[in-house]
């Protein structure tokens, strides 16, 4: 016999009354702190402090490895070395593997790591010079929050907000995981109880939650705008989630979350979790990252990218209000959102145009690896609705941002 959600909870209550014996309990300091951090008056400021520390560690850790080591390794040694050793290749092969010869001749504009563009230059620098360290920092902090017992408390705090859009507090877990990589983020949606919640969560992750690759690129290129970008994405996450909850049929039941006691992290567990998630990124996501870079460079080498940019330029300029110089980057974004952020002609754009373009690139089509996961986790109907949701979101969000810019004269 299949029980309804309410009948399940009634059964849980009856079993609890028959099996649970209530005794005396004297709470200690740890218990008092654990109780206080789930109460909004103390828990919300505490959560803000934790997330601020989370973000500070992310920026410092990723910046240490990217700026301290890999920018120098790639920019000073690896890219010039390849440019010299592979100079005899035909133009098309040189463009795909190393980059545009003209860019090399002009000195990269002072930034070879992003300007080179080839699969062996920029294509390797982005996953291993930027993204890997961003992903590693995010997964390390997430493992620490899990092991200390704080993550369920954070889920409890956001539960009332997420219920407004048909989800529950546990949805914060795939959201945080997706900040490292959307691929394990999609997998983390499996514990959600109903098909509706899993579909909604996957759709919102694919559109409004930037992965470590995009965050790393934003942190490297437009750090002064990243707070506004995240605020805009959070508004879209909640706003479009509310709409999805209204139009998509299905149940959004309550969830009973266990609140483990606070404890010191077991570092062997933390390192094991961090490695398992990072390994998933390296072996699942990175090949798709390189494939996307290869496709982009083939399009450039054959002239197809210029043709696509020219064809879409009037539409992109009219709807999104971006300058003509930015349209090739927006076209690249359909295949590689992180690469497209690095290709934005920031010097030819106003601050608001850069902000708007970064937001649009973030909510573009999911990366190839994430799309492969969507095919595994969703049925054909949900895939089509996800793609439709994506197109509507881009057009609506982009138009709104363009109108705000026009009204403000930006």
Dihedral angle sign, alpha carbons of residues 321, 326, 327, 331: negative
Q: How many domains does the chain have?
A: 1
d(CA 337, CA 363): 9
Domain annotation covers residue 101: yes
Q: What is the pLDDT of residue 25?
A: 66
Of 86, 111, 113, 114, nearest in space to 101 by CA: 86
Look at residues 134, 136, 111 and name the one whose alpha carbon lies nearest to residue 122: 111
- List residues bridging with 117 in a β-sheet: 99
SS (H, E, C) 90-158: CHHHHHHHCECHHHHHCHHHHCHHHHCECCCCHHHHHHHHHHHHHHHHHHHHHHHHHHHCCHHHHHHHH
Give pLDDT tens digits along the chain (410 positions): 677 878 888 888 888 888 877 777 676 777 787 788 888 888 888 888 888 888 788 778 877 888 788 888 888 888 888 888 888 888 888 888 888 777 776 666 566 777 677 888 888 887 888 778 878 888 888 889 888 888 888 888 888 788 888 888 888 888 887 887 777 778 778 777 788 888 888 888 888 888 777 887 787 778 888 889 999 999 988 988 888 888 888 777 766 677 788 888 888 989 998 888 888 778 877 787 778 778 877 887 787 877 888 888 888 888 888 788 788 878 777 766 766 777 787 877 888 888 888 888 888 777 777 777 777 777 888 888 888 888 888 888 888 888 888 887 77
- Residue 23 falls within a domain, yes or no? no
Whether residue 128 is contained in a domain is answered as: yes
Cα 227 to Cα 181: distance, rounded to the nearest angstrom: 19
Nearest CA among 203, 227, 206 for reference residue 215? 227
- The pair of structure tokens assigned to 59 is 């920026």
Closest CA to 14 of 30, 23, 3, 25: 3
Query: What pLDDT was estimated at residue 33?
Result: 79
Residue-level pLDDT at 110: 60
172 neighbors 237 (Cβ within 8 angstroms): no
Domain of 234 in residue numbering reads as 43-250+269-408
**Strands, E assignment, 313-386:** none
pLDDT score for 106 = 67
State how far the Cα of 116 lies from the Cα of 152, in Å rounded to an integer: 44
Q: What's the pLDDT at 200?
A: 86
If you ran DSSP here, which 8-state letter would residue 23 be given? Answer: -
CA 137 to CA 62: how far, in whole Å? 7
Residues 215, 361 contacting (CB under 8 angstroms): no
Tokens 């996800």, residue?
386
Q: CA-based angle 264:265:266, to the nearest 5?
A: 115
Q: What is the pLDDT of residue 108?
A: 60
Owner of token pair 């290869």: 294
Beta bridge partners of 99: 117
In the numeric block, which tokens belong to residue 360?
A: 């649009």
Render the burial of 332-364: b for 16+ CB within 10 Å, e for the rest: bbebbbbbbbbbbbbeebeebbbbbbbbbbbbb
Would 258 be classed as within a structural domain? Answer: no
| 67 lies in some domain | yes
Joined tokens for residue 165 = 């859009």
DSSP per residue, 143-202:
HHHHHHT-HHHHHHHHHHHHHTTT--GGGHHHHHHHTT-HHHHHHTTTTSSSHHHHHHHH
The answer to whether the beta carbons of residues 126 and 71 sit under 8 Å apart is no
């Amino acid at each position: 016999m299949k029980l309804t959600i309410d009948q399940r909870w009634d059964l849980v209550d009856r079993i609890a009354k028959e099996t649970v014996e209530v005794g005396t309990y004297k709470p200690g300091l740890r218990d008092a702190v654990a109780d206080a951090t789930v109460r909004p008056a103390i828990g919300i400021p505490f959560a803000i402090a934790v997330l601020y520390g989370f973000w500070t560690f992310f920026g410092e850790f990723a910046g240490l490895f990217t700026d301290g080591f890999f920018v120098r390794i790639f920019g000073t040694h690896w890219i010039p070395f390849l440019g010299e050793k592979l100079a005899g290749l035909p133009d098309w092969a040189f463009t795909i593997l190393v980059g545009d010869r003209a860019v090399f001749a002009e000195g990269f504009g002072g930034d070879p790591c992003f300007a080179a563009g080839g699969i062996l230059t920029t294509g390797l620098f982005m996953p291993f010079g930027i993204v890997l360290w961003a992903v590693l920092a995010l997964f390390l902090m997430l493992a620490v929050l899990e092991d200390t017992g704080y993550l369920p408390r954070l889920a409890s705090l956001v539960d009332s907000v997420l219920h407004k859009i048909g989800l529950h507090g546990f949805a914060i877990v795939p959201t945080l995981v997706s900040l490292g990589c959307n691929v394990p983020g999609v997998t983390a949606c499996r514990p959600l109880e109903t098909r509706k919640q899993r579909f909604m969560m996957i759709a919102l992750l694919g559109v409004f939650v930037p992965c470590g690759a995009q965050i790393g690129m934003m942190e490297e290129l437009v750090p002064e705008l990243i707070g506004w970008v995240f605020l805009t994405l959070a508004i879209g996450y909640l706003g479009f989630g509310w709409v999805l909850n209204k139009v998509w049929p299905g149940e959004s039941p309550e969830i009973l979350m266990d609140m483990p006691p606070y404890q010191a992290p077991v570092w062997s567990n933390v390192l094991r979790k961090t490695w398992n998630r990072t390994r998933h990124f390296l072996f699942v996501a990175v090949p798709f990252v390189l494939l996307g870079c290869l496709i982009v460079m083939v399009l450039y080498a054959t002239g197809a990218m210029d043709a696509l940019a020219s064809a879409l330029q009037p539409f992109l300029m009219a709807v999104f209000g971006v300058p003509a110089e930015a349209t090739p980057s927006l076209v690249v974004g359909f295949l590689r959102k992180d690469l497209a952020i690095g290709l934005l002609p920031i010097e030819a754009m106003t601050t608001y145009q850069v902000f708007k373009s970064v937001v649009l690139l973030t909510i573009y089509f999911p990366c190839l690896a994430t799309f492969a996961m969507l095919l595994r986790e969703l049925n054909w109907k949900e895939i089509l609705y996800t793609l439709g949701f994506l197109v509507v979101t881009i057009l609506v969000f982009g138009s709104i941002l363009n109108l705000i810019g026009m009204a403000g004269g930006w």
